[in-house]
Amino acid sequence: MISDRQRLYRGVSCAAWAYFFLYFDLSFNGISVLPNFVCYLLLWQAISFLEGEERDLALLRPLCLLLGVWVGADWLFTIFGEALDGRLPVVDLLISAAAIYFHFQLFTDFAHLAARYQSEGMELDRRLLRLRTVQTVLLTASSLLGGWLPSGIQLFFPGNALAEEAVSVLLVALALAGLVVSLRLMFGLFALRKCFLPSEDKA
Amino acid sequence: MTDLWSFLLQTLTAAGAAAFLLVLKSLFRDKLSPRWQFGIWGLLALVLLYPAGRGGRYVLFNWPLWLETLKTALTRDYDLIRVTAPIPLPAPLSGPQTPLDVLYFLYVAGVVVLLAWYALAYLRLRLALRRGSPADDAQLRRVAAQYELPVCRVVEVEGLPTAFVCGVFRPVLALPAGQPVDDKVLLHELLHLKYHDAAWGLLICLFRCLHWCNPLLWYCADRAGNDAEALCDQRVLERLEGEDRRDYGRILLSMASDKYARAVGTSSMANGGRNVRARIEAIARFKRYPAGMALASVSVALVLLFPLTLGWGQTLAKANGLGHSGELEFHTAMASARLTPCTTAAGAFDAYGKAVIHDNGIYRALCAPLSEHPALAAQMEGFAHGPDPWVHEHWESGLPGRADHTVGYFLYNLTQADGGYAAVMVWPLQMAYVDGPDAPPVYWSEEDRAYAAWQSLWAERQGDRWVVLPQGEFHLTETEGDGLVWGDDALPSAAIYAADVDGLRLELTYQTVHSVSYTFGEKPKVNARFDAAGESFDFTGSETHPGAADLVNRYAAAPVYADGSGPALEFGSGQGSSSDGTFWGNVRDYGGLLASGGSGFGDDPNDPPVWPDHYRMVLTYVDGREEQMVELRPMEGGKRA
């Protein structure tokens, strides 16, 4: 039997490592050795550990399954030299919407956990909520720009620069900002994990 | 909507969006609030209100392509399905001509009958309310004051099962006569009044009439109505506390076995047993919607906004290797060409250039006027089913040779006029049919020069597509230089500027060359922009009076534009030219009045091309005469070729 605190520690550990798999990619011959679907397996595990403490987490199971299956299928396609991305634009759209909600709600729940277990004056919950909000805005902007503007909408900016060039620059900027926010979120989860360490381990 | 095809396109587009929203809503059923659940139907309303298939765009599923293909396969009609308005417009006065016209007539009749039925039902309800007696509105005013809500006229009517608000512009709250009404029921109805839910109901009813034969949209209309009620419940619960919330749930529960007759222009707390049960489940989840979900709700809606309203642009379907008998593939390719408009003049030129290079009629259809599609399709079908069975996309442009696929094409002397563009398209040839297509082809001329073919073209906008109209036959020529990217004397000039001075004939041949980046085997780029543009000149001075050239020492020239602007004249060292179009020379040291040069054209290759109005030239002499300033003006007709 593991204690409640140990369960919370394990749950948050799973989530922190899950985001490591999501944000970092290492490929050999075009095949990812840190595949994204591992992220969703770990998040599924994290939800199992944490749903007793944070009831809303259970609502995320169907989305976790959907996102995990999708990125898993994409990984399998990559192994066979194909790409799933862009083949089924309707499913891509559904996945985009699901992913935005999923990560938003997940970090909201982690922030609630942080609010309950952080040391006094730590304000980890506020940091997580702030980063979650920025991440959601960045994800939304990326989906809007990356997915839909280049698909035929003609916008011309002063100087006749092609819209797609401007969009590409914006996407790179969003990706960079997203990377910074994602890393901070991941470190935030590792910081949250420390809140559940027994006091002698913390020392 | 003016025919059955346009109705099918509109209703199927909406059905695709509706199916997607139903899946999405089931995914977020217990995760996002009733506000989102109702609000997201707004996207479907936008799809229903926006004419489907504009510019070939499609919402989630490529209905325009599938319907265009089906229409052509069934009717051999190569015109585009156009939805001019999201409502049915009158059919031709001559009456139905075909079975499809009869079906459209039936559809329109259905809309009219259903609208009339709803209107009659509403009128009957209003008449019934007129017969009701004015009610004491003290309780209503108290509830409205407590929750700061607007009020309206109240009547009591015998036999009503429950209270409801009726009407959009002059709403009436109808109460069952002789029965006490709970404050919370009044609160529910006042909230309907405040948020104009009767108007939303009316809009939903209008969509029911317009798409009366689409069961999926009727199901969505039911769901939207129920979501409006669930949202109203949510608003009530946000205003109630503790025991009042439980009471409200009990009131709803008491309605769970009621039957409910939907009436247009009304909103009622009771909306049928099954729906009430769903609303009670939503109430049970009331506390579970996490705070601060507005951002996630808006983000999810925003991600869907563009794909569901503007849709996605078409990309050209398979246009190569259509085989000899693949009728469906051929119709699909032609439909795709109709639906994929060239959005720029450069895109239309690119499609034409590649159509000629690849003998591809589908590419030609991309940039041909729609009125020419039937003849084009007939020509391609003739080749496919003829004695020499060609692949289905085969088209013969009349090019007197075989284009060099690895080089592509060049666009000479592009100029803008009357809302269109004129240009000369040039194709370097691998081999030329010098003596006609039946004679053996020739690879190199006797002077070991390569051949090129050129044709005058005109590009103009027709509706939402740019089209290319050939302005004459192809011409075959031996090229002068190694490449055609910086102009070639053997090809038509944009203008020839000339002047006669002191026994000299001065002539400057001016050409521009525009190009879209070309990769072997690449499909036409319908949204192309010019990647590069250059200008070049060849200047010669010939003697009309013997010995006149020997008296010239140096010369310099500069272009002058119509507004008087232009670079300054300058004598550079020796002989040369500058990127601003100026050039200079030393006749005695460099063997005569000869100069040529080229440079990039304009700041942006996509700017409207502006050619020099004339050239200024200054000449100095060896015999002590004062320097002479002359203007080289465009020759009459402006073109040598």
What distances in angstroms separate CA B136 from CA B91, B188, B267, B602, one per listed residue?
52, 18, 21, 80
CB within 8 Å: B310 and A93:
no
SS3 A75: helix
A99 in contact with B at a CB cutoff of 8 Å? no
For B121-141, what is the HEC assignment?
HHHHHHHHHHHCEECCCHHHH
Cβ atoms of B334 and B305 within 8 Å: the answer is no
* pLDDT, tens digit (0-9, with 9 covering 90-100), for A32-88: 777 888 889 999 999 999 988 888 888 899 999 999 999 999 888 888 888 787 788
Residues paired with B165 in a beta bridge: B173, B267
User: B544-553 as b/e, with b when 16 or more CB fall inside 10 Å?
Assistant: eeeebbebbe
B343 touches chain A (CB under 8 A): yes
Chain B residue with minimum CA distance to A93: B304
pLDDT category of residue A160 using cuts at 50, 70 and 90 = very low
Can you tell me which residue has the tokens 């006149």? B548
Class of domain B493-638: mainly beta
How many beta-carbon pairs under 8 angstroms link A with B? 93
User: Average of pLDDT values for B318-328?
Assistant: 73
Which of B24, B307, B343 lies at the smallest CB-CB distance from A148?
Answer: B307
Alpha carbons B78 and B343: distance in angstroms, whole number: 20
Residue B195: exposed, middle, or buried by beta-carbon count in 10 A (0-12, 13-18, 19+)? middle
Torsion region of B414: left, alpha or beta (phi above 0 gives left; psi -120 to 50 gives alpha): beta
Q: Minimal Cα–Cα distance from A202 to chain B, Å?
A: 32
Residues of chain B with CATH 3.10.450: 337-369+380-479
pLDDT at B267: 67
Structure tokens at B229: 């009620």
Q: Which residue of B has its CA nearest to A159?
A: B604
Q: Which residues pair with B477 in a beta bridge?
A: B452
Mutation pick from A100, A106, A110, A128 vs chain B, by most beta carbons of B within 10 Å, is A100
d(CA B225, CA B272): 11
pLDDT band at A163 (very low <50, low <70, confident <90, very high): low
CA nearest A92 in B: which residue?
B60
In terms of Cα–Cα distance, which of B601, B618, B344 is closest to B485?
A: B601
Contact predicate B143/B234, CB 8 Å: no
The two structure tokens encoding residue B235: 């608003």
Would the pLDDT of B101 be above 60?
yes
The listed range with the strongest mean pLDDT (A102-116, A155-169, B230-244) is: A102-116
Question: CATH 2.60.40 occupies which residues in chain B?
Answer: 493-638
Identity of residue B513: V
Mean pLDDT (whole number) for A178-183: 89
Please tell me whether residue B478 adopts helix, strand or coil conformation: strand
**CA B202, CA B630: separation in Å to the nearest integer?**
77
d(CA B511, CA B534): 8
Low-confidence winner among A96-100, A117-121, B74-78 (lowest mean pLDDT)? A117-121
Give the model's pLDDT for residue A22.
82
> In degrees rounded to 5, what are phi and psi of residue A11?
-60, -50
Å from B504 to nearest chain A CA?
43
Report d(CA B542, CA B507) in Å as an integer.
Answer: 8
Which of A64, A135, A154 to mutate: most B Cβ within 10 Å?
A: A154
> Is A86's Cβ below 8 Å from some Cβ in B?
no
B145 CB-side CA count, 13 A: 6
d(CA B258, CA B154): 23
For A129, name the nearest residue in chain B, comparing CA atoms only.
B292
Separation between Cα atoms, residue B163 and residue B415, nearest integer Å: 71
ipTM of the modeled complex: 0.88
Tell me what the mean pLDDT of segment A117-141 comes to.
90
pLDDT averaged over every residue in chain B: 87
pLDDT given for residue B268 in this prediction: 65
Give pLDDT tens digits for B346-374. Answer: 999 999 999 999 999 999 999 999 999 99
Closest CA relative to residue B421, chosen from B463, B366, B486, B471:
B471
3-state SS, residue B36:
helix
Q: Which structure tokens are listed for A46?
A: 């994290």
For the stretch B18-67, pLDDT in tens is 999 999 999 998 888 889 999 999 999 999 999 998 878 899 999 999 99
Residues of chain A contacting residue B300, judged by C-beta atoms under 8 Å apart: 97, 100-101
Residue A203 binned pLDDT confidence (cut-offs 50, 70, 90): very low
Distance from CA of B517 to the nearest CA of A (A): 15
Residue-wise pLDDT for B453-504, tens only, equals 999 999 999 988 999 999 999 999 988 766 788 888 889 999 999 999 888 9
Taking an 8 Å cut-off on Cβ atoms, the answer to whether A101 and B312 are in contact is no
Q: Among B235-239, B322-326, B390-394, B444-448, which range has the highest average pLDDT? A: B235-239
Strand partners, B461: B466
Contact B134, B152 (CB under 8 A): no
Name B285's Cβ contacts closer than 8 Å, sequence gap at least 6. B30
- Would you say residue A159 has pLDDT above 50? no
Q: Are strands B172-176 and B153-157 parallel, antiparallel or unpaired?
A: parallel
pLDDT of residue A158: 41
Write out chain B residues lying below 8 Å of A66, CB-based: 27
Tell me the β-bridge partners of A156: A162
- Specify the amino acid at residue B68: E
Band of residue B254 on the pLDDT scale cut at 50, 70, 90: confident
On the question of pLDDT at B625 being above 90, the answer is no
pLDDT on residue A79 = 84
Per-residue pLDDT at A144:
82
Q: Which of B263 and B471 is assigned the larger pLDDT?
A: B471
Tell me what pLDDT residue B337 has.
Answer: 92
What secondary structure letter does DSSP report for A156? B
At residue A62, what is the residue type? P
Instruction: Using an 8 Å CB-CB cutoff, list chain B residues near A154.
Output: 343-344, 527
Residues 6+ apart with CB under 8 A from B428: B403, B404, B407, B409, B410, B450, B451, B452, B479, B484
Residue with tokens 């009609």: B77
Higher pLDDT, B27 or B160: B27
Whether residue A59 lies within 8 A of chain B, CB to CB, comes out as: yes
Contact status of B284 with chain A (Cβ, < 8 Å)? no
Record: contact B31-A154, CB cut-off 8 A:
no
Contact A90/B60, CB-based, under 8 Å? yes
Nearest to B299 among A55, A90, A136 (CB): A136
pLDDT band at A136 (very low <50, low <70, confident <90, very high): very high
Is residue A168 less than 8 Å (CB to CB) from chain B?
no
Instruction: Write a three-state SS string for B307-366.
Output: HHHCCECCCCCCCCCCCCCCHHHHHHHHHHHHHCCCCCHHHHHHHHHHHHHHCEHHHHHH
pLDDT in tens, A8-19: 899 999 999 888
> B461 phi and psi, to 5 degrees?
-90, 130
Cβ neighbours of A152 in B, within 8 Å: 55, 57, 312-314, 343, 527
Helices and strands (H and E) in chain A: how many: 7, 2
Within 551-580 of B, beta carbons closer than 8 Å to A belong to none
Nearest CA in chain B to A162: B529
What distance in Å separates residue B396's CA from the closest CA in chain A?
30
- Cβ neighbours of residue B92 closer than 8 Å, sequence gap 6 or more: none
Chain B residues whose beta carbon lies within 8 Å of the beta carbon of residue A96: 303
Name the H helices within B475-583. none
For residues B228 and B38, give the distance between their C-alpha atoms in angstroms, rounded to a whole number. Answer: 6
Contacts of B313 in chain A (CB under 8 A): 151-153
Band of residue A154 on the pLDDT scale cut at 50, 70, 90 = very low
- Token pair for residue B101? 């016209």
Whole-Å CA distances, B230 to B242, B283, B469: 19, 8, 59
The pLDDT of residue A153: 46
Return the higher-pLDDT residue of B603 and B218.
B218
Query: Does the pTM exceed 0.95?
Result: no
Residue B312 and residue A143: Cβ atoms within 8 Å?
no
Q: What is the pLDDT of residue B436?
A: 80
Contact list, B24 vs chain A (CB under 8 Å): 94, 97
Tell me the pairing of strands B410-417 and A27-28: unpaired
Closest chain B C-alpha to A93 CA, distance in angstroms: 7
pLDDT of residue B269: 64
Q: Which two tokens stand for residue B390?
A: 């060609």
CA distance B382 to A142: 49
Question: How much is the pLDDT for B20?
Answer: 97
Question: CB-based contact (8 Å) between A159 and chain B?
Answer: yes
Tokens of B170: 């002059």
pLDDT, mean of residues B577-590: 85
Are A160 and B606 inside 8 Å of each other by CB? yes
Is B299 within 8 Å of A133 when comparing Cβ atoms? no
Name the residue in chain A with its Cα closest to that of B604. A160
pLDDT for B325: 62
Is the minimum CB–CB distance between A96 and chain B shorter than 8 Å? yes
Identify the CATH number of the domain defined by range B337-369+380-479. 3.10.450
pLDDT for position B175:
87
Nearest to A140 among B31, B299, B310 (CB): B299
